[in-house]
Amino acid sequence: METKYLKLSINKKVATVLIHRPEKRNALSPELLIEIEKLFNELSQRDDSNVIILTGGEKYFSAGFDLNFIRTLEKTSNEEFTALFHRAYRAIMFCSQPVICAVGGAAIAGGFDLTLMCDIRYASERAKFGQREITLTLTPILDPLWRIIGLGRALEVALTGRIYDAYEAERMGYVSKVFPEGTLLESVFEIAQTMANYDRECLKETKQLGHTIVNYDMDGALKLQEWLFRTYIGAEDNHKRVDALLESLKKA
């Protein structure tokens, strides 16, 4: 599909989706959200990428919703827009492939929510995070935030509207790792490339397991994981990878 505000590149089964609206610090307009929804739904059906990176580049991520547009909305005319941005969120969260977020700059309000929909988050030293909706008399997204950092910390993020630097986000468990400024995209691509070499269906099932397992009690979770494990162990690809590992150990 043709896009104006997103740039797509695919290399070694890694799809990189770059948000490109720098004059607005990648603010989320309706047009951009439509592109996100359509592109991620398309990527979910493609077999040329096993892992997706969502980024705004080394300088930006997204400053949030386009406030000039938000100001035009009324209570009686907001349904279409709210449905749109939730469709865009869901397109990322429920994309078949794992989605890694590479945050090079501010991820604020709606931009923060985009990072929230991804499976793994990495940041550069210049990144900042803030769920600022409360400061604009808007309710924030607490789920899946509370699943990632715990309910108490999620409520702090949501109720204070505070902006956190990359290292604070890492300490609270929201960001997996912080990279030096200017090295984010290269470093995240290396991680994604390693993941992209794994079995596509196994990646997909593992992502889905992460979404599902929180709804099970311990017994049900263990049974589900046992069933999934049995569907892969002993399969041809499993044998090939075990053989390759055994061979490499002989040479070590």
Specify whether 169 is located in the same domain as 239: no
| Position 212 in a domain | yes
Provide the CATH number for the domain around residue 181: 3.90.226.10
**Does 1 fall in a domain?**
no
pLDDT at 77: 73
Q: Can you spell out the DSSP letters for 157-208?
A: HHHH--EEEHHHHHHTTSSSEEE-TT-HHHHHHHHHHHHHTS-HHHHHHHHH
Domain check: are 164 and 87 in the same one?
yes
In this structure, are 22 and 111 located in the same domain? yes
Residues 208 and 191 placed together within one structural domain of the fold: no
Query: Are the C-beta atoms of residues 98 and 119 closer than 8 Å to each other?
Result: yes
Residue ranges in the chain modelled with pLDDT below 50 = none
228 and 115 assigned to the same domain = no
Both 133 and 243 in a single domain? Answer: no
Assigned domain for 76 exists: yes
156 in any annotated domain: yes
> Are residue 192 and residue 207 in the same domain, yes or no?
no
pLDDT at residue 67, as a whole number? 86
Q: Are residues 60 and 171 in the same domain?
A: yes
Look at the chain and report how many structural domains it folds into: 2
CA atoms within 13 A on the CB side of 37: 16
Examine the domain organization and report whether 208 and 158 are in the same domain. Answer: no
Do 66 and 185 belong together in one domain?
A: yes
Where in the sequence is the domain holding 208, given as residue range(s)?
A: 200-251
Residues 57, 154: one domain? yes
Q: Are 157 and 242 in a shared domain?
A: no
pTM here is: 0.95
65 falls within a domain: yes
Residue 165: φ, ψ to 5° = -80, 175
Residues in Cβ contact with 127 at an 8 Å cutoff, skipping those fewer than 6 apart = 61, 103, 104, 105, 106, 107, 165, 166, 169, 175, 178
